[in-house]
Structure 1
């Protein structure tokens, strides 16, 4: 019987260097997600007070279907904040590996992630399962609460100092406000006329029953990898 080249000491070392660190990252990410829900509740409360004075037709809603998901509805937009339950390391070519902070301690490169998605509120209301949503941002957090954000426009370059930036509630509120501002600034565009020159009878019947012609907002989303944004890792 062939002897294993891996001794128990190596297995124990791997458990400490990998599994324990990932548990630490998971714990911190979950704490951040709790903070995120609290910050969102504060934002929702402020907006509700504003709309109560200015236009009561505008609906502001916040709910948490699970420990790992939170949904915020601002009139015609529903934003989903989702914490991934896994912990990730970045590919060797990623800029994070050239960060002095990570080069000094590679374990600092392990991150949890919170995804921010945008959908039309009517996609939920009318159960239009074919409607498209968009990934607006990804918030990466390590075991020491250092963080950076991938996303569109200001989200892609204001929060990229992974060496020093710590995700406090104050910083989290800045990220969330920018994400919501970005979402609200993009309009629902009518599809090109040519896209609907031919329509099946079944499409019209579905439309009559539940307004199920596929719809999505034009967000023109691209991440940093597509836009060559400068990142200060």
Structure 2
């Protein structure tokens, strides 16, 4: 007679549930700290820039418990806390590490995504304007973390942290994100691409006619198109 698997199922559910709850608490704490660090940094940047140019817009805006924005001149960084705990694909580098192999429950991650938009896209309600994912912060139940991103954002951090997340890590991350957004310029489509427009396009996109896309987004878009 086969053993009743009920107890085993209950144990699995309890373990996973506990881990996911710890993970979510960790990512919520990190999200709150990110906003605090961002606010302090924007205050410092404002003090440094206001004397020379009062028109540079620098601000942090809390939208709700899962979202806040940082405006850096013409850029808008949108920070989003996801409420679901996720896992990465099995062939992902993180899942191939000894760290996860030694304790499979470490594969459960909370995530904070950072998107880069043009500030005018929100101000003028240009719904079709693109943004792009600039950085992703992933945190597990032990508060160890992964940072994914382009250029310095991706290079400055280990594939998985050797120690729990600290506020100093978030301070470095915020500075790298803001620096990258500030360095990415806008590019406009070739003249021939925007030579002709329809009346509908004029009526629907008056504010965005001739507007550019962030370089980083266009590069991502081109890569997807070629695939």
Give the alignment's TM-score, normalised by structure 1: 0.87
Whether the aligned pair in 1 keeps the contact of 2:75 and 2:116 (CA below 8 Å) is: yes
Number of aligned residue pairs? 219
Give the corresponding residue for 1:190.
188
- 2:213 aligns to what? 216
Q: Corresponding residue for 2:174?
A: 176
Aligned to 1:230: none
Deviations 1:82-117 (A, max 9, x none): 011111112221111232221211111211110000
Change (3 A) 1:93 1:126: same
Q: 1:118 aligns with which of 90, 93, 116?
A: 116
Q: 2:126: which partner in 1?
A: 128
Deviation at 1:17, TM superposition (A): 2.3
Query: What are the within-5 Å matches in structure 2 for residues 1-233 of structure 1?
Result: 7-162=5-160, 164-208=162-206, 211-213=207-209, 215-219=212-216, 220=218
Superposition deviation, residue 203 in structure 1: 2.6
Unaligned segments of structure 2, at least 5 residues = none
Q: Shift in Å at residue 221 of structure 1?
A: 5.1
RMSD of aligned alpha carbons: 2.1
What is the aligned partner in structure 2 of residue 229 from structure 1? none
Aligned with 1:144: secondary structure?
A: coil
Deviation at 1:145, TM superposition (A): 1.3
What is the alpha-carbon distance in structure 2 between the residues aligned to residue 122 and residue 5 of structure 1?
A: 63
Separation of aligned partners in 1, 2:80 and 2:29 = 13
Task: Give the whole-Å Cα distance in 2 for the aligned partners of 1:117 and 1:198.
Answer: 31
**How far apart, in 2, do the equivalents of 1:40 and 1:6 lie?**
53
Seen in structure 2, the aligned counterparts of structure 1 residues 31 and 201 have a Cα distance that, compared at 3 Å, is same
Q: Quote the Cα distance in structure 2 between the aligned partners of 1:144 and 1:221.
A: 35
Q: Gaps (5+ residues) in structure 1?
A: 227-233
Residue by residue, what CA displacement relative to the aligned partner does 1:182-212 show, whole Å, maximum 9, x if unpaired? 111011112211111211123334455xx14
Q: CA deviation at 1:157?
A: 2.3
Q: Secondary structure at the match of 1:54?
A: coil
TM-score (norm 2): 0.89
Larger helix proportion of the pair: 2
